[in-house]
Structure 1
Amino acid sequence: MPSPVNALGQARSSRSNMAPDTCCCSAVALQRRLPILAWLPDYSLQWLKMDFIAGLSVGLTVIPQALAYAEVAGLPPQFGLYSAFMGCFVYFFLGTSRDVTLGPTAIMSLLVSFYTFHEPAYAVLLAFLSGCIQLAMGFLRLGFLLDFISCPVIKGFTSAATVTIGFGQIKNLLGLQNIPRQFFLQVYHTFLSIGETRVGDAVLGLVCMVLLLVLKLMRDHVPPVHPEMPPGVRLSHGLVWTATTASQNNYRVDANQELLAIGLTNVLGSLVSAYPVTGSFGRTAVNAQSGVCTPAGGLVTGALVLLSLDYLTSLFYYIPKAALAAVIIMAVAPLFDTKIFGTLWRVKRLDLLPLVVTFLLCFWEVQYGILAGTLVSLLILLHAVARPKTQVSEGLVLVLQPASGLHFPAIEALREAVLKRALEGPPRRCVVLECTHVSCIDYTVVLGLGDLLEDLHRQGAALVFVGLQVPVLRALLAADLKGFQHFSTLEEAEKYLQQDPGTQPYNSCDDPVPEHKIALLKA
């Protein structure tokens, strides 16, 4: 069998010998689009056992949550289950993570409620349209756009959504009627109608919340399972753990492939009356902590949901809204990050700005909060690009070192700073621009540096460059700037500038380019 190097050489020299590499690349590409092909050939009975347990655990979690989240979306309870099973089967083929589960979530349900006006037909149409957009983004590989939504924006959004969702269930918890859905009106009318509380609903809701809280505390203090435990004890331990697990799981996945999976789930889900779904924090954590090995665990979850739809649909009518409200409140409460404000205050206080903007505007309209927070984050990012921090060393020779790259919004500010410091008083000082941290420049920067060279020369000063990386050096040499001088070390530059600048030929480039750099420039 030829070595990879020989195979590569043969592939470059002859089209007839490209078939093996092409097949290999095609297989890799196919596995990337159908991740099931990567793990299914190695599937084992041990994996089957773990996936079955995890799928059962997630199924027991998703059924009550789906019924409750349908209420958040303003839809009949069964629509939560309609939305809960399609993602299990689609993700089995397209998912890149063994842990992630797709289905209805509290925050997605809240977003759906703003656009569907309690009309199931609008919710189904929304699922189809959002799925088409997500598929298009996945095929166009636009997953990188998600990188522009910063963590403070996400935290502000989820915290505001937690408050909105949780307070929105107070009316069901207390049995209040005719409460509007807009948050501020909802707060006003809830307190205005507090005297109309139905005692039975309030007692039932509070009992359910206390029960869920007790189960959570039991989960936190239950001892670990040991093989020597009696079967009954192990079973009860498993039931308590399964019923009470709502933690987040940090799992990095392929954003473009996930867009394809979620998009196809929403498109196909719209055919079975589902509303838009996405990945669930809580159920993903349940899946991971249950020891899931592959996305096959979703098949068990999906089957369990379908069985519930087949045999339990007639009973959904009798589920008290107060009980569903308790489930929702206890499910979303952990999503409110109380520590993020203090953390950002200690780490970087400026990041509090997009967090607070997102948090406050989300109470008006969720989508406006996200857009405003993202815009503020981008403005902060652009300001850092336009005004990079520069370290300045004063002396007979002025040394400036940009702490980051140089891009066209920053060149005018740099030019003004250099001229001000170099020419502010006699004697006029020469300038060293230390470019160790500058990895690339654009044409506008090149023009700006050329103007700066001329301005300093007219005032009897000089500008030289130190520590130029090869791409930057190549660009500056290609521009043939008048008076351009560069050195490898700061000591060489200062020694050169200690001479009388007026005696130096302005159009010269006495410092030769090293031979290894000449080769790179000619390449």
Structure 2
Amino acid sequence: MDWSNIQESRRQTLGICSRCCSYETLKKKLPVLGWLPRYTLQWLQVDVIAGLSVGLTVVPQALAYADVAGLPVQYGLYSSFVGCFVYCVLGTSKDVTLGPTAIISLLVSLYTYEDVSLAILLSFLSGCIQLAMGLLNFGFLLDFISYPVIKAFTSAAAVTIAFSQVKNLLGLKDIPREFVLQVYETFRKLPSTRLGDALLGLSCIVILVLLKWMKDTSPRMHRNIPRFYRLCNLIVWFITTARNAVIVIAAGLVAYSFQVLGSQPFILTGKTAEGLPHFQLPPFSETTANETRTFNEMVQKIGPGLFVVPLMGLLESVAIARAFASQNNYRVNTNQELLAIGLTNFLGSFLSSYPITGSFGRTALNSQTGVCTPAGGLITGLVVLLSLGYLTPLFFYIPKAALAAVIICAVAPMFDLRICKTLWNVKRLDLVPFLLTFLVSFWEIQYGILAGILVSIVILCYPVARPQIKVLESESLVLQPTSGLYFPAMEFVRDTVHEKALAVSPQRSVTLDLSQVTMVDYTIVVGLRDLLHEFKSQGLCLTIRGLQPPLLQKLMAADLKAFHHLQGKTEDRLKDEDSTEPLLQGVIGPSK
């Protein structure tokens, strides 16, 4: 037994373990270790205010988004507190808040068919997929989804979500979930509108818009302003910031007053389950009155949602984190964000949560109130837990029209077609994936996203398939590709050479200048070999010059005899490049 080898192996193992368990490595995997030692009392005061502000917003929104997902309202609250605690430990953005959102709730509704068990299982599976992507550092895949596709999807989702709430706003019943049928049936049943719900819902929308306008236009207060005015300003700030909670509470009081008087003109939320959710395994099978569904059958029932929901959850959360990191001058770790949201969905499924992601509206509120660290989420989580523990009986009196008004006002800013003007001025071709995603999403969400991604990839790959080729003419014809050559470009290069040298009379020899090419693949190597043989059969010369050493090594490594003969000719040609003969230039390639 060679003890020296064993000792060396032990030293290497201990070295690896010490590096993996070092404080710096732990700080990367547990970002809380980075800011917690520097935490101050001043940060605590600001984080408490931010956490309370977000908490008063998340409670009414959670109730409303659960309705969008087609689930009992308490499941919105079940989905709202786990992310607050997990993100505090694993998150790399001080601003992001995790919880139910309009877009994810819409997707859950589409893929789980208002089935609670499917929604919870989808959260578990989404968390597993997101955790795997984070552990394997697959965050870079999100970079291939272009911004026009994201904006088109969010705009289409805003229209779909807002219109889905019109039935609750007007008190209509038996409206289908498919968007086109939904629009048709809503207009057809307008005469059946309930006057009480319509008046309450429209009034809530008007008040929410006014409160938002007051918040956006209220002047900043200075220290030398009298205390009374500062107190009034604080009250206005609190009411406008917690406007969703104010509206829901006020509407609930109105509905309760009518209930006491013996009449009820509104459709109410109704009885909800009381107390905190039980910690239990996600439902890996489901037994109903008619059948028992196995795990495989449940997964098949979810279908494409198994990929669309976790992908859109990651995309929405990472996009929000990057946006606010840029705005507030710090950086986020994409793979760490995947771990945070993945673990939230995974653990949340044990507490009856449906899939969640980062919320733009609540993140914006968090940022505006000056939150200093992710610790503000702890206060938000406690507010949600207190609501679940003590306020659920009061949810009975919340009118659905009020929740519909909250949703419509929340998603309205997501609808933004002004980007079309910007795309027209910057790159008109980007309008194609934007419009395709926007329109197809009204048919099927997943097809809209897929169509936009595929078209974006085609646009991205087009310059690879049609590279620019400079045409330099002196005594001989010189063709100079101005970028790397990859297999989609081979036919274009072959056609260009034929057009300029072999399809003319008299036929001409060609010099192919690869001085600006740094990368080729095997298809290009084979194509160049075929061109060499073709020119040789015509009694012409195809000379390749300007080969950089790495590129020349690759051509030689291909073990093609033509290139063995080529090396000497290339060196000879490079000696003659100091010629001062005038050149006529042109460009062959994709039009700009």
TM normalised by structure 1 equals: 0.85
Q: Distance in 1 between matches of 2:572 and 2:84?
A: 59
Q: Distance in 2 between matches of 1:487 and 1:237?
A: 79
Q: Is 1:41 matched with 2:37?
A: yes
224-233 vs 425-434, which moves further: 425-434
Q: Distance in 2 between matches of 1:422 and 1:357?
A: 41
Structure 1 counterpart of 2:238: 239
Q: For 2:79, which of 78, 83, 107 is the aligned residue?
A: 83
Structure 2 counterpart of 1:506: none
Deviation at 1:24, TM superposition (A): 4.8
Deviation at 1:26, TM superposition (A): 3.8
CA contact (8 A) 1:70 1:109 kept: yes
Q: For 2:566, which of 452, 464, 483 is the aligned residue?
A: 483
**Structure 1: gaps of 5 or more residues:** 1-12, 499-523
Structure 2 counterpart of 1:507: none
Deviation at 1:469, TM superposition (A): 4.3
Q: For 1:400, which of 479, 483, 498 is the aligned residue?
A: 479
Q: Is 1:313 matched with 2:313?
A: no
Quick one: which amino acid aligns to residue 221 of structure 2? Answer: V
| Residue deviations 1:472-521 (CA, integer Å, cap 9, x gap) | 233234446132444799994384999xxxxxxxxxxxxxxxxxxxxxxx
Structure 2 counterpart of 1:58: 54
| Secondary structure, aligned partner of 1:271 | helix
Structure 2 counterpart of 1:31: 27
Q: Distance in 2 between matches of 1:25 and 1:86?
A: 28
Q: For 2:94, which of 91, 95, 98 is the aligned residue?
A: 98
Quick one: which amino acid aligns to residue 261 of structure 1? Answer: A
Q: For 2:469, which of 369, 390, 397 is the aligned residue?
A: 390
CA contact (8 A) 2:79 2:354 kept: yes
Deviation at 1:43, TM superposition (A): 1.8
Deviation at 1:407, TM superposition (A): 0.7
Deviation at 1:18, TM superposition (A): 9.3
Aligned-CA RMSD value: 2.9
Quick one: which amino acid aligns to residue 309 of structure 1? Answer: L
Structure 2 counterpart of 1:375: 454
Q: For 2:433, which of 354, 362, 370 is the aligned residue?
A: 354
Matches within 5 A, 1:53-202: 53-202=49-198
Quick one: which amino acid aligns to residue 213 of structure 1? Answer: V
Matches within 5 A, 1:335-354: 335-354=414-433
Rate the CA distance shift 1:462–1:98 in 2: closer, same or farther, 3 A. Answer: farther
Deviation at 1:49, TM superposition (A): 2.0
Higher RCO (Cα < 8 Å, 6 or more apart): 2
Structure 1 counterpart of 2:247: none
CA contact (8 A) 2:95 2:324 kept: no
Rate the CA distance shift 1:289–1:21 in 2: closer, same or farther, 3 A. Answer: farther
Deviation at 1:243, TM superposition (A): 3.6
Rate the CA distance shift 1:244–1:465 in 2: closer, same or farther, 3 A. Answer: farther
Structure 2 counterpart of 1:518: none
Rate the CA distance shift 1:412–1:236 in 2: closer, same or farther, 3 A. Answer: same
Structure 1 counterpart of 2:527: 448
TM normalised by structure 2 equals: 0.76
Structure 2 counterpart of 1:505: none
Q: Distance in 2 between matches of 1:44 and 1:20?
A: 36
| Residue deviations 1:306-358 (CA, integer Å, cap 9, x gap) | 11111211111211111111111111111112112222222222222222221
Q: How many residues align?
A: 485
**Structure 2: gaps of 5 or more residues:** 1-7, 245-318, 326-330, 583-592
| Residue deviations 1:420-460 (CA, integer Å, cap 9, x gap) | 21223244444343445433111221222233233334445
CA contact (8 A) 1:357 1:369 kept: yes
Q: Distance in 1 between matches of 2:527 and 2:580?
A: 23
| Secondary structure, aligned partner of 2:176 | coil
Deviation at 1:167, TM superposition (A): 0.7
CA contact (8 A) 2:149 2:453 kept: yes
Q: Distance in 2 between matches of 1:178 and 1:31?
A: 53
CA contact (8 A) 2:544 2:566 kept: no
Matches within 5 A, 1:205-224: 205-224=201-220
Deviation at 1:256, TM superposition (A): 2.1
Deviation at 1:41, TM superposition (A): 1.9
Q: For 1:278, which of 357, 377, 387 is the aligned residue?
A: 357
Q: Distance in 1 between matches of 2:164 and 2:469?
A: 50
Quick one: which amino acid aligns to residue 236 of structure 1? Answer: I
Rate the CA distance shift 1:401–1:79 in 2: closer, same or farther, 3 A. Answer: same
The percentage of aligned residue pairs carrying the same residue is: 59
| Secondary structure, aligned partner of 1:392 | strand
Structure 2 counterpart of 1:516: none
Q: For 2:224, which of 228, 236, 252 is the aligned residue?
A: 228
Deviation at 1:380, TM superposition (A): 2.7
Q: Distance in 2 between matches of 1:110 and 1:488?
A: 67
CA contact (8 A) 1:225 1:237 kept: no
Deviation at 1:239, TM superposition (A): 1.6
| Secondary structure, aligned partner of 2:372 | coil
Deviation at 1:395, TM superposition (A): 4.8
Structure 2 counterpart of 1:493: 577
Deviation at 1:234, TM superposition (A): 4.2
